């Protein structure tokens, strides 16, 4: 285990967090709030700590997948632990565990909140909440890969551990360039939405925060009622951008470089849109009597479907009051999630598609026991390793899911609440149903349940294995052994 | 598509087809030099492994098909290198790539059948370069056998200048001598340009004291190098006979060269059919049909008395064992060919004498080409060698007429550390540079350095 590189990269992560905290700081200064002081203080601590940790260069730049996973898991935990400090210190969130829940929910782009009301929060706290979505959406380590010079192919192991999807592909040969392209697309789309929202009359800062929330497919609202009180135009803009941020970014890359054919024939993106349209159609039919005009019905169905499948978690209507069919469809969409290689969470369309193809193949083998068929995805045969990893992923997903439900069931809330609370956190969505519905919040859970949900959010964002590997005793043995050696 | 897809303009976009030993060496070297590399191979797990190890993009499939090449981005590539195991496939890959766009291509072609007309083939097909690792390593082995007391011989300036590496034996007069004394008392026509002492590389200055056990590289004119070696008590005659184990392609190429130089060649090969083939190809050589790893056969064929022994089997372990055996049982000069690149530190510590790494020889040739290509101007790298197990480079540059270094005395130039101008070739004459010397347009200069990535003579300035 190369523990010096782990220390070094963690140091870089903290430094960057310190730098990023200057944004809420600036907002606080501009609007004359004193909570900016706490952000400035935490930022200084982060940068100092980061500089200390990166003072000594790592002994070797080479690391493998296990280090990549450990770095990823640790850096996300560290980010959250430090990111929660200012919100707690300034007193706007009274307990540290709540602040931590809020920050993890932010970085993992979940958007589940423990705050009964967000409007009383100061502008800089609110900006930080939404900004964490944006940071977590594309990933901090991807950001580091884009700006920090790191030689060697080892850095691919970081990207692998952090990026969602069954298999990570590069856009261009170099990790650094790939990361830069991804961030360029991300920033461009965010800016575009910001401008469109401002055209719709949303104030400067609110538009920025909403864009952050959409871009990271996060879902922290800046109003108590999420996006319900915004105009239809703004809601449509948010719908379009939510769905756009759920698309595999490779498609945008192909569009930018005018590989139209490749962009429009991406199987995953096609399924993604088919699922969205089907879900919208069913819900439209189901809730036709709830709203006066067809336009309104369509808008609300689209908004909720887009918000849930991309795992954003904004709401334009309280879908908790919708009929059962619609609610069920929405819960199913929670599990499907967005495309691989997007900022969204969930199981991912590509995994679901490949799993379905495996199922069909298996059925087929009952009819023709000797038939040989290779599963194809994106016009390429799916390698056995990918299938195996996918099956293991699904099993672990449901294991984590089931054990989380058991763990939070001790509090004796109803099954709908528990089930959707875990579904909404592990898939990084935000709102669930019943007591955790779109107009409710997570504050009533005990500290223990909150810790379980915090773990679920991190595990969901990092696609389970980087978090699960921390439970493997070998990792700790190696880490401990190494540090002992360094001391002596 | 004219706008390049890579966001940083520093590296070239290079496609490498085939991830065998040569392919991997190339990927390793080229990615260190900061190029954007895409690799193509049929083997999915190999691709996966390499893209985890190096910062490269992998495409799995047949590199000779248009669709796979397009997946790898052939439209935006600057250079296409085919180094699969099959000559025909390599040529086809390059031809297909050239049909897409006007692209520089390099193919590995190593079968002796083609090697005769390699140059014609290259010109006809429009390839930029054909590389033949077996032929190149045979040439290197032959160079060592012509001067068997040294470890390595590299040539510069159209073979007029030699860089010779040897180990200072115990009790030699060089032991304890500074370089200034060496120049005064033995010869002023040679320059010590690098010393490997216990694994550390030094680019020495005049006060540097040589010790027994150092491996040193000297640069000199061909004749002066031999005179120098003679003066310090080295034998400078070429070997009289050579025993080659294994009758592969490199053995054939080596035998061909040695026979031309009047050296008796004996090849021990296991396969009967190959023996017959070799015997008709090389009528002057003695071909023995037998297992070259059998002690009795080796003794029967006179390993104790042979002057040089070259194991060229396809298996590194066998080659190393044979070398150790030969060093134990005879005084022969031994050259060991090492194909695989793993456990190099072990191999280096074994004191096997002269080592040849065919995959390095290939990648040196390609990297020389790539560096030259990266320079937008007409190339001015003539030759490039990695010396001291790749920890230093010897590069020969051509000086252009608008080079800013021209006309200034060398002592006035501010050069980088750990760098040495080893020799200047001007027309027919070869100079060992002194402080007062100046560079002139048309000169070729050999630079020895531990820095990497030099593409132009101006890079020597600090």
Q: Across chain B, which distance is largest between two alpha carbons, in Å? A: 67
Does residue B265 sit in helix, strand or coil? strand
Look at residue A486 and tell me whether its pLDDT is greater than 70.
no
CA dihedral (B401, B407, B408, B410) positive or negative: positive
- Cβ burial, residue B371 (10 Å; 0-12/13-18/19+): buried
Beta bridge partners of B385: B394
Residue B424's pLDDT is 84
Residue A223's pLDDT is 83
Q: Using a CB–CB cutoff of 8 Å, tell me whether B55 touches chain A.
A: yes
Q: B312 with B410, same domain?
A: no
Record: contact B1-A173, CB cut-off 8 A: no
Rounded to the nearest 5 degrees, what angle is found at the Cα of A466, between the Cα atoms of A462 and A469?
150
- Tell me which of B9, B44, B55 to substitute to probe the interface with A (most A C-beta atoms closer than 10 Å): B55
- Cβ burial, residue A274 (10 Å; 0-12/13-18/19+): exposed
Q: Using a CB–CB cutoff of 8 Å, tell me whether B425 touches chain A.
A: no
Rounded to the nearest 5 degrees, what angle is found at the Cα of A437, between the Cα atoms of A436 and A440?
70
3-state secondary structure B36-81: EEEEEECCHHHHHHHHHHCCCEEEECCCCCHHHHHHCCHHHCCEEE
Q: Using a CB–CB cutoff of 8 Å, tell me whether B29 touches chain A.
A: no
DSSP B349: H
Task: Choose the closest CB to B52 out of A151, A157, A181.
Answer: A157
B396 part of a folded domain = yes
DSSP letter string over A277-293? HHHHHHHHHHTTTTSSS
Contact B396, B157 (CB under 8 A): yes
DSSP B246: -
Record: contact A172-B6, CB cut-off 8 A: yes
Task: Choose the closest CB to B54 out of A153, A258, A383.
Answer: A153
Q: Enter the tokens of residue B203.
A: 């680019």
B395 part of a folded domain = yes
Q: Using a CB–CB cutoff of 8 Å, tell me whether B13 touches chain A.
A: yes
Look at residue A244 and tell me whether its pLDDT is greater than 90.
yes
Domain boundary among B333, B356, B379: B356
Rounded distance between C-alpha atoms, residue A102 and residue A127, angstroms: 13
Look at residue A43 and tell me whether its pLDDT is greater than 80.
yes
Work out the minimum CA distance from B384 to partner chain A, whole angstroms.
24
DSSP B249: H
Name which of A343, A358, A352 is nearest A111 in CA terms.
Answer: A343
Stated length of chain B: 462
Q: B349 with B389, same domain?
A: no
DSSP B415: B
Q: Enter the tokens of residue B82.
A: 């085919």
Report residue B157 CA to chain centroid gap. Answer: 16
* Residues of chain B with confidence (pLDDT) below 50: 1-9, 376-378
Task: Choose the closest CB to A173 out of B44, B45, B57.
Answer: B57
B143 part of a folded domain = no
Beta bridge partners of B289: B269
Work out the minimum CA distance from B433 to partner chain A, whole angstroms.
37
- Tell me which of A158, A161, A174 to substitute to probe the interface with B (most B C-beta atoms closer than 10 Å): A174
Q: B345 with B415, same domain?
A: no
Task: Choose the closest CB to A170 out of B7, B32, B57.
Answer: B57
Beta bridge partners of B420: B448
Look at residue A151 and tell me whether its pLDDT is greater than 70.
no
Residue B374 has φ and ψ, to the nearest 5°, of: -65, -35
Residue B214's pLDDT is 86
Residue A280's pLDDT is 94
More confident site: A93 or A163: A93
Mean of per-residue pLDDT scores for chain A: 88
Record: contact B55-A258, CB cut-off 8 A: no
Rounded distance between C-alpha atoms, residue B444 and residue A111, angstroms: 67
Contacts of B226 (CB under 8 A, 6+ apart): B147, B236
Rounded distance between C-alpha atoms, residue A36 and residue A27, angstroms: 8
Q: B408 with B382, same domain?
A: yes
Q: Using a CB–CB cutoff of 8 Å, tell me whether B51 touches chain A.
A: yes
Rounded distance between C-alpha atoms, residue A36 and residue A29, angstroms: 6
Work out how many domains chain B is built from and give that number: 3
Q: Enter the tokens of residue A431.
A: 């709102």
Residues A257-296: pLDDT tens digits? 888 888 888 888 999 999 999 999 999 999 988 888 899 9
Domain boundary among B131, B152, B183: B131
Domain that includes residue B388, residue range = 369-460
Q: B323 with B383, same domain?
A: no
Residue A168's pLDDT is 66
Rounded to the nearest 5 degrees, what angle is found at the Cα of A22, between the Cα atoms of A18 and A23?
130
Q: Classify each residue of A417-431 as buried b or exposed e, where b means 16 or more C-beta atoms within 10 Å of its C-beta.
A: bbbbbbbbbbbbbbb
Task: Choose the closest CB to A174 out of B36, B50, B52.
Answer: B36
Which CATH number covers residue B335?
3.40.50.720
B175 part of a folded domain = no
What Rg value do the Cα atoms of chain B yield, rounded? Answer: 23
Rounded distance between C-alpha atoms, residue A427 and residue A311, angstroms: 7
Look at residue A190 and tell me whether its pLDDT is greater than 90.
yes
Rounded to the nearest 5 degrees, what angle is found at the Cα of B265, between the Cα atoms of B261 and B269?
145
Q: B273 with B381, same domain?
A: no
Q: Number of CB pairs < 8 Å for A and B?
A: 55
Q: Using a CB–CB cutoff of 8 Å, tell me whether B11 touches chain A.
A: yes
Q: B260 with B340, same domain?
A: yes
Residue A103's pLDDT is 93
Q: B346 with B429, same domain?
A: no
B302 part of a folded domain = yes
Contact A358, A375 (CB under 8 A): yes
Q: B276 with B351, same domain?
A: yes
Work out the minimum CA distance from A62 to partner chain B, whole angstroms.
9
Contact A405, A419 (CB under 8 A): yes
Rounded distance between C-alpha atoms, residue A357 and residue A375, angstroms: 7
Q: What share of chain B is helix, strand, coil (3-state, %, to 5)?
A: 35, 25, 40
Q: How many CB atoms sit inside 10 A of residue B260's CB?
A: 10
**Chain B residues with CB-CB distance to A382 below 8 A:** none
Residue B397 has φ and ψ, to the nearest 5°, of: -105, 150
Q: What percent of chain A has pLDDT over 70?
A: 97
Q: Which residue has the tokens 């060093």?
A: B327
- Tell me which of A153, A154, A173 to substitute to probe the interface with B (most B C-beta atoms closer than 10 Å): A173
Q: Enter the tokens of residue A61.
A: 């730049």
Look at residue A417 and tell me whether its pLDDT is greater than 80.
yes
**Element housing B155 (H / E):** strand B152-156
CA dihedral (B247, B248, B251, B252) positive or negative: positive
Task: Choose the closest CB to B44 out of A174, A257, A383.
Answer: A383
B272 part of a folded domain = yes
Contact B281, B310 (CB under 8 A): no
Torsion of CA B184, B186, B192, B197, to 10 degrees: -110
Torsion of CA B73, B76, B77, B82, to 10 degrees: 40
B187 part of a folded domain = no
Rounded distance between C-alpha atoms, residue A336 and residue B80, angstroms: 41
Q: Enter the tokens of residue A417.
A: 């609440």
**Chain B residues with CB-CB distance to A152 below 8 A:** 54-55
Q: How many CB atoms sit inside 10 A of residue B116's CB?
A: 9
Stated length of chain A: 488
Work out the minimum CA distance from B1 to partner chain A, whole angstroms.
7
Domain boundary among B306, B323, B356: B356
Contact B112, B249 (CB under 8 A): yes
Beta bridge partners of B245: B268, B311
B220 part of a folded domain = no
Q: B351 with B260, same domain?
A: yes
Q: B438 with B382, same domain?
A: yes
Does residue A243 sit in helix, strand or coil? helix
Residues A426-437: pLDDT tens digits? 999 888 888 888
Contact A73, A458 (CB under 8 A): yes
Residue A152's pLDDT is 57
Helix axes A473-487, A3-20, angle to 10 degrees: 100
Q: B346 with B383, same domain?
A: no
Q: Using a CB–CB cutoff of 8 Å, tell me whether B62 touches chain A.
A: no
């Amino acid at each position: 285990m190369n523990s010096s590189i782990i220390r070094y990269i963690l140091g870089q992560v903290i430094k960057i967090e310190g730098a990023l905290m200057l944004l809420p700081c600036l907002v606080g200064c501009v609007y004359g709030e004193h909570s900016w002081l706490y952000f400035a203080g935490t930022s200084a601590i982060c940068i100092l700590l980061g500089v200390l940790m990166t003072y000594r260069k790592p002994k070797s730049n080479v690391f493998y997948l296990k280090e990549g996973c450990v770095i990823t898991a640790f850096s996300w935990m560290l980010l959250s632990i430090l990111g929660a400090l200012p919100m707690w210190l300034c007193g706007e969130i009274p307990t540290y565990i709540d602040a931590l829940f809020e920050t993890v929910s932010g970085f993992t782009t979940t958007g589940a909140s423990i705050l009964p009301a967000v409007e009383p929060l100061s502008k800089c706290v609110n900006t930080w909440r939404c900004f964490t979505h944006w940071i977590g959406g594309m990933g901090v380590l991807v950001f580091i890969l884009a700006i920090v010079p790191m030689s060697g192919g080892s850095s691919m192991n970081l990207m692998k551990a952090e990026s969602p999807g069954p298999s990570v592909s590069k856009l261009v040969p170099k990790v650094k360039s790939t990361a830069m392209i991804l961030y360029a697309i991300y920033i461009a789309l965010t800016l575009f939405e910001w401008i469109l929202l401002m055209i719709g009359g949303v104030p400067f800062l609110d538009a920025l925060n909403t864009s952050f929330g959409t871009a990271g497919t996060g879902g922290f609202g800046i109003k108590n009622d999420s996006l319900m009180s915004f105009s239809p135009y703004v809601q449509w803009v948010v719908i379009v951008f939510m769905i756009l941020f759920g698309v595999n970014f490779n498609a945008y890359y192909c569009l930018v470089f005018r590989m139209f054919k490749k962009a429009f024939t991406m199987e995953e993106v096609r399924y993604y849109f088919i699922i969205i349209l089907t879900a919208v159609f069913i819900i439209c039919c189901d809730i036709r009597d709830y709203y006066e005009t067809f336009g309104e019905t369509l808008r609300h169905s689209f908004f909720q479907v887009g918000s849930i499948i991309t795992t954003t978690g904004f709401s334009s209507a309280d879908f908790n009051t919708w009929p059962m069919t619609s609610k069920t469809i929405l819960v199913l969409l929670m599990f499907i999630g967005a495309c691989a290689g997007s900022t969204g969470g969930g199981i991912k369309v590509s995994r679901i598609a490949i799993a379905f193809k495996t199922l069909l193949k298996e059925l087929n083998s009952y009819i023709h026991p000797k038939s040989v068929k290779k599963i194809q995805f994106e016009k390429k045969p799916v390698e056995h390793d990918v299938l195996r990893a996918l099956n293991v992923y699904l099993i672990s997903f449901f294991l984590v899911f089931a054990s989380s439900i058991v763990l939070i069931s001790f509090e004796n809330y109803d099954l709908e609440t528990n089930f959707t609370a875990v579904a909404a956190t592990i898939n990084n969505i935000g709102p669930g149903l019943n007591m955790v519905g779109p107009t409710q919040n997570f504050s009533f859970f005990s500290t223990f349940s909150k810790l379980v949900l915090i773990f679920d959010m991190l595990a969901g964002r990092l696609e389970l294995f980087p978090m699960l590997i921390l439970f493997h005793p070998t990792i700790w043995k190696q880490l401990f052994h190494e540090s002992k050696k360094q001391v002596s | 598509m004219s706008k390049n897809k890579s966001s940083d303009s520093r590296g070239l976009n290079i496609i490498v087809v085939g991830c065998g030993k040569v392919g991997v060496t190339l990927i390793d070297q080229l990615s260190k030099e900061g190029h954007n590399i895409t690799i193509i191979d049929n083997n999915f797990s190999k691709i996966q492994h390499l893209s985890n190890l190096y910062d490269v993009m992998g495409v799995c499939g047949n590199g000779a098909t248009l669709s796979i090449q397009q997946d790898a981005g052939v439209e935006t590539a600057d250079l296409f290198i085919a180094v699969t195991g099959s000559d025909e496939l390599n040529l086809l890959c390059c031809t297909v790539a050239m049909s897409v766009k006007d692209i520089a291509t390099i193919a590995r072609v190593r079968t002796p059948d083609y090697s005769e007309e390699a140059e014609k083939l290259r010109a006809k097909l429009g390839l930029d370069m054909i590389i033949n690792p077996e032929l190149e390593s045979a040439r290197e082995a032959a160079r060592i056998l012509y001067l068997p007391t040294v470890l390595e011989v590299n040539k510069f300036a159209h073979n007029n200048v030699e860089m010779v590496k040897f180990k200072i034996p115990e009790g030699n007069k060089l032991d304890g001598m500074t370089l200034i004394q060496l120049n005064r008392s033995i010869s002023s026509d040679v320059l010590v340009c690098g010393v490997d002492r216990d694994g550390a590389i030094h680019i020495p200055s005049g006060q540097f004291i040589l010790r027994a056990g150092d491996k040193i590289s000297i640069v000199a004119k061909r004749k002066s190098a031999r005179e120098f070696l003679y003066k310090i008590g080295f034998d400078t005659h070429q070997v009289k006979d050579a025993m080659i184990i294994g009758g592969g392609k490199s053995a054939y190429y080596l035998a061909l060269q040695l026979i031309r130089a009047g050296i008796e060649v004996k090849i021990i090969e296991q396969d009967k059919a190959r023996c017959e083939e070799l015997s008709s190809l090389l009528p002057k050589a003695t071909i023995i049909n037998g297992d070259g790893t059998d002690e009795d056969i080796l003794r029967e064929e006179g390993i104790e008395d042979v002057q040089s022994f070259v194991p060229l089997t396809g298996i590194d372990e066998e080659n190393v064992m044979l070398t150790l055996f030969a060093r134990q049982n005879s005084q022969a000069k031994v050259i060991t060919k090492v194909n695989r690149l793993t456990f190099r530190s072990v191999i280096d510590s074994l004191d096997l004498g002269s080592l040849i790494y065919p995959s390095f020889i290939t990648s040196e040739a390609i990297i020389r080409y790539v560096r030259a290509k990266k320079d937008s101007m007409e190339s001015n790298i003539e030759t490039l060698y990695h010396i001291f197990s790749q920890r230093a480079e010897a590069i020969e540059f051509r000086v252009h007429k608008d080079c800013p270094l021209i006309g200034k005395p060398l002592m006035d130039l501010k050069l980088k550390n750990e760098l040495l101008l080893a020799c200047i070739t001007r027309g027919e004459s070869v100079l060992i540079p002194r402080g007062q010397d100046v560079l002139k347009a048309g000169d070729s200069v050999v630079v020895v350095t531990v820095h990497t990535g030099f593409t132009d003579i101006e890079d020597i300035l600090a």
